[in-house]
Structures are given as structure tokens and as C-alpha cells.
Amino acid sequence: MKGLLLAAASSLLCVGGVTVLFRIVDVPRRAAAMLGTFLATVPLYVAAYALTPADLWLLPGGLVESRGFLGGAFGLFVHAALFFGGWLQVYNLAERGFSLRILIDIDESPGRALSPEEEEAAYGSGRGMGWMLDKRIEGLLSTRLMVERDGRLMATDKGTRAARVFGGLRAFLQIDTPQ
């Protein structure tokens, strides 16, 4: 139980740190900044686990772990899952979610309703739908999965490996179209 409680505290500390960071600094690479904040909380978690008593001054005997290392590793796994599967996904959805952007555009429109044509123009706070595709292409270029040569986009070695892995997984799982 000590590992779980410290993981929950570390997770809250992490999201608190991210919030303060995003509010006071203009961060160009936000996902990397979030990862850095998470990594900074890992040694804090380890130190807190090592330096506090097994019962955390409050736990009943039945909830105290006799195998401290395993309890600590379990807490660290929970902390990592809350970050990579929780906070980082909240960020990814808020920053890149196509469906979510549509819902927000409708919610922010004056009449709280949009036709498909209005949504096409309003998408991304008025940037339009064409911007969405450009944003993804620029993302793939900046992560060096693709390069642009003579006006054509080509897969790099890294992109080729990614295409083979993801294409293979899609074929095995019989996924043809995004759902």
C-alpha cells in the first residue's frame, strides 16, 4: 500500500509540476517537457520510498509489505502507467485529437451547432481542415520519419522501419481503416 500511496502522490506532484511549467513558460516541445517532469519525479519517488517507514506512520500492519523492493517496484509501475497512459494521453488528446477538436469547435461556436461546411472552415479555431493534414506532415518531418526531396515526401530508414512494424501489426490484426 505504501508504494500505491507514494505513486499517487508522485503522480499528483508530476501533473502539478506540468501545470506550473505550462502556465509560466512558453514550452515549444510540450510532450518532451512532460516526460522530463515525470523523470524528475522518479528519483523523488525512490527517495521517498527508501526514506519513509514501511507503514508510512499510518498504515495498519496488514497493509505493510514485507518485501519492500517488490512493493517499491509495483508503485513505480503504477506511477509510470498513470503518466504514460494517463496524463500524457490527456495531453495528446487535447493537443492532437481530431474528434475532440470537432466536439470543442461545436461547443465553442456561437449557436453551439455547426454544419459540416462550417466545421470545415472553423476547424482548429478557424485554421481549417487543410491545416490538420499539414500539421501531421510537419510532425513526421520533424521526427525524421519522412524527408521532403524535390517536392516529394519519402520515408527515411526510421520511417521505413516504422511503416513495416505498424503495417505488419495492422495486417495481422486485420485493421484496414482507422476506427
> 69-128: which residues touch another protein (CB under 8 A)?
70-71, 74, 77-78, 80-82, 84-86, 88-104, 106-108, 111-116, 118-120, 123-125, 127
Please say which residue, 53 or 139, places its beta carbon nearer to another protein. 139
Please report how close the Cβ of residue 53 comes to another protein at its closest, in angstroms: 18
CB 6 within 8 A of CB 45: yes
Cα 117 to its chain centre, rounded Å, is 31
Please say which residue, 47 or 169, places its beta carbon nearer to another protein. 169
Binding to another protein by residue 162, rule CB under 8 A?
Answer: yes
User: Per-residue x/- marks for another protein, 7-46, CB under 8 A?
Assistant: -----------xx--xx------x----------------
Pick from 54, 63, 105, 75: nearest CA to 5: 75
Backbone angles phi, psi at 147, to 5 degrees: -130, 155
Please say which residue, 13 or 82, places its beta carbon nearer to another protein. 82
β partners of residue 149: 152
Please report how close the Cβ of residue 46 comes to another protein at its closest, in angstroms: 18
Binding to another protein by residue 132, rule CB under 8 A?
Answer: yes
Q: Which stretch binds another protein (CB under 8 A): 35-43, 44-52, 141-149?
A: 141-149
Q: Is 136 left (phi over 0), alpha (psi -120 to 50) or beta?
A: alpha
Please report how close the Cβ of residue 113 comes to another protein at its closest, in angstroms: 4
Binding to another protein by residue 137, rule CB under 8 A?
Answer: yes
Q: Which residue has the cell 505498424?
A: 166
The DSSP line for 41-90 is: HHHHHHHHHHHS-TTTTT--GGG--S-HHHHHHHHHHHHHHHIIIIIHHH
